[in-house]
Each structure stands twice: as structure tokens, then as C-alpha cells.
């Protein structure tokens, strides 16, 4: 699925629709350059999940936890240098847990990412234009993908 977002608000509302479809245990991988809109998308997702906590970029903290009915583990792997650091932060536990895991910069450690996830790539195609490309990896995410396609058509 490919969508063009022409303003930050559109990326946010796409995130909100996606957030409404998420369930415990879901994993999202967000790919895109600096400033592509990954964190903004997470803000929309959090809104869709009904979270009231403020969503900020975990660039320096590596992970933020937002407590809700279902906790959200929001990762930014940009500053990690070695895969061993994933162990230090308990990455495997959090991505196989009771919550929803959202990972920015998963492409830093492709061999260490979960087997199944929804993959969302954001590409800057103009100052305020972003191409959002969604793909599913694994059965649960094919289902989620179909639901999302239905919502966005």
C-alpha cells in the first residue's frame, strides 16, 4: 500500500487510524531518513490508542514507555552502535511482550529484528510531502494490512 501525505496532519491521522487497529503483541518497524516523520507517525498511533501521555523522540533514551491499557514501547535505535546494546536495553523481551512495540531505525540491525512486523517506510518527496509505503511480514500483519487498506480507501 502506498499513500502520499501532503502535510504533518495527514501523517498524524494515518497514524491514528493505524493505532485504532493495533493489538497487544504487535510490532511496527518504521523506516525513513532523519525528519521523514517516524516520530510524528508514532504520535498519531498513540492518539489512536487513546494514550494521553506525551510522545517524544527516544533518540537519546533509546526507548520510551507509554502506559495505557496496552503499554507502548517506542524505540529509536539510531544512536546504538552494536547489536549487543539491544540486549542491554532488553529489546527481545519488549518486542515479545504484552505491549505494542514501535521501532524507529530498525534497519540499523536488520538481523536482530523480530520475524514478523508491519513495515512502514516514509520517504521525503517534498518539503511537506511524504510517500508512506506499508508492507506486511507474517500472518498477523497481513490481516492488519488488509484492515488498514480498507480504512484508508
Positions touching ligand ATP (CB under 6 A) are 5, 7-8, 10-11, 32, 34-40, 57, 59, 76, 78, 104, 128, 130
Residue 56 binds which of ligand ATP, Mg ion, none (CB < 5-8 A, kind-dependent): none
Shortest Å, Cβ 108 to ligand ATP: 11
By C-beta, is 125 or 143 nearer to ligand ATP?
125
CB < 8 Å & 24+ apart, contacts of 93-98 = 94/63, 95/27, 97/25, 97/73, 98/24, 98/25, 98/70, 98/71
Residue 36 binds which of ligand ATP, Mg ion, none (CB < 5-8 A, kind-dependent): ligand ATP
Residue 7 binds which of Mg ion, ligand ATP, none (CB < 5-8 A, kind-dependent): ligand ATP
By C-beta, is 102 or 148 nearer to ligand ATP?
102
By C-beta, is 57 or 138 nearer to ligand ATP?
57
Shortest Å, Cβ 54 to ligand ATP: 14
Residues that bind Mg ion (CB under 5 A): 38-39, 57, 104
CB atoms under 10 Å from CB of 125, counted, come to 12
Residue 64 binds which of ligand ATP, Mg ion, none (CB < 5-8 A, kind-dependent): none
By C-beta, is 143 or 152 nearer to ligand ATP?
152
Amino acid at each position: 500500500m502506498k499513500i502520499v501525505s501532503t502535510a504533518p496532519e495527514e501523517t498524524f491521522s494515518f497514524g491514528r487510524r493505524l493505532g485504532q487497529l493495533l493489538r497487544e503483541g504487535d510490532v511496527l518497524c518504521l523506516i525513513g531518513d532523519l525528519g521523514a516523520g517516524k516520530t510524528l507517525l508514532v504520535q498519531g498511533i498513540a492518539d489512536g490508542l487513546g494514550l494521553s501521555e506525551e510522545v517524544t523522540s527516544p533518540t537519546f533514551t533509546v526507548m520510551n514507555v507509554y502506559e495505557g491499557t496496552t503499554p507502548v514501547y517506542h524505540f529509536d535505535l539510531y544512536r546504538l552502535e552494536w547489536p549487543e546494546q539491544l540486549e542491554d536495553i532488553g529489546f527481545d523481551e519488549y518486542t515479545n511482550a504484552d505491549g505494542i512495540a514501535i521501532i524507529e531505525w530498525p534497519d540499523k540491525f536488520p538481523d536482530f529484528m523480530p520475524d514478523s512486523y508491519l513495515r512502514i517506510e516514509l520517504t521525503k518527496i517534498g518539503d511537506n510531502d511524504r510517500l508512506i509505503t506499508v508492507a506486511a511480514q507474517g500472518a498477523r500483519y497481513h490481516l492488519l494490512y488488509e484492515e488498514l487498506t480498507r480504512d484508508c480507501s
